[in-house]
Structure 1
């Protein structure tokens, strides 16, 4: 659309009468029919077109918060859609609530410092080459924690404005508290990450062993300039995981020279811990096999861990206590079961004795009954004899005397 307007402007310029024509017209005035638009009419027309295009364009900033790490650079994306050349326009970036509120003030490609907040002095810039495409994004260098907040972009002449949110994070670099063991000729990963997690894909990451440069990542790619020759073509980062703060180093084909202390470093990180430390120990394959064998003993075809080899004294004590507890519980259960069986056996024996003695008791009771019956019969007979004696005449006369 801007090219069409420019063509119309050229055509209007061509239709504008020259000075000689104006002079001759003044001497010999003639009234001729116009074969096109006048210069003034073209100017008004073009101005109206430009104004209408500006009114149709919309200033759009990112709806998602821009998240950056303290110490890094931040870009607050903002543009006109459809694009309009704003190279000669006034572009203002402010931060509400700040005094003074002006972050960046640019008029006709000139930066105005008078009203700019001192905290942002020499730390802001527009993409000048992109202004003709409607790109009014703001870049903030060396971001501080205090830079976090809401920002607004204004185009006063077009009466356009939009806002965007900036979030500034702060993380610590965490290495490994335990030594990392590796075997000669094999690959190893030296762990290191940011806590809390933070995207470091746009920052510089460095790995060093003492003063030796092991690996450097910056500007989104691996930079092997100045790398120690011992690590050539043997180091790499996990690029796809750097967005979540993982800056672990993979080291291939480990050699004895690789053993030592390493540091992972994020130079632009503004935090209490900017370096993580990792210690790497290297052993031969034979030593690794011997170590594994000393941690195990073969007994009865099964591998059994022996105390003091592969287990700490605390682990051994815990295992011994557990075994004693299990044995004690087993012994208690066994005793209770045996007592129950013995009690069940005694009860059965007494029942059998009772069953065996039952006939004898019955016989005894029978004999006693017969004897009692016999005694009763004898006493009855004696009583009858006594009655006969007492009833005799001699006894009667004797009793009367």
Structure 2
């Protein structure tokens, strides 16, 4: 299963996971130790810390073993090496220096999980967990996302309507932008403009024109379906005084007429 030298597509990754599951079942039947990783991809956010789980089953002390974490698509591909009870950095990929580690206290329990700090977009990919002494390797996919809260500003307004603009910068992968009214219904808005910066992060913006009405609470929502992340900002559009008069005055008149009729009937008794 020495596939780490080749760049793996998502389809290839799924096929490889299926092969690994079959291989693990055979090993379980033979009573041999396993390298176990989650079947699902691990999600991470830019700037945060993430752990890629990897364990030896049944539990055994990995402190004195050689451990290798690598990326199939990088040269050099090693992101972490452990041997002789210490880390080796000679063959380490430069972009990971100072950012990857294992928890030494957990090695004796067979926990060889990789911790990556200050996650970047370029960290996204497929990782190989290998223990040569056990004679096995396993692969795990890391998906990286970046999110930010949108800002809503007033571009122009008249006595009856207002034009709002929503903008949100620092997203990855590319998100979608939605406008919603106070009841959660989608509003018809202008096209979403998308820009991709030199840091590979996306900025999205859009404008919407809304009529000034009662309970006009407008929401701008930016969401990324692949990472199941969303952020939103609410903006209240004030009701114009003429609209209040239009709505309230007839109501007050109706109440006044009802009161007068009641008093008139009472006097006739």
TM-score after normalising by structure 2: 0.50
Q: Which of structures 1 and 2 has the larger relative contact order (alpha carbons within 8 angstroms, sep 6+)?
A: 2
TM-score after normalising by structure 1: 0.34
Q: Answer with 1 or 2: which has the greater Rg.
A: 1
Please identify which structure carries the higher helix content. 1
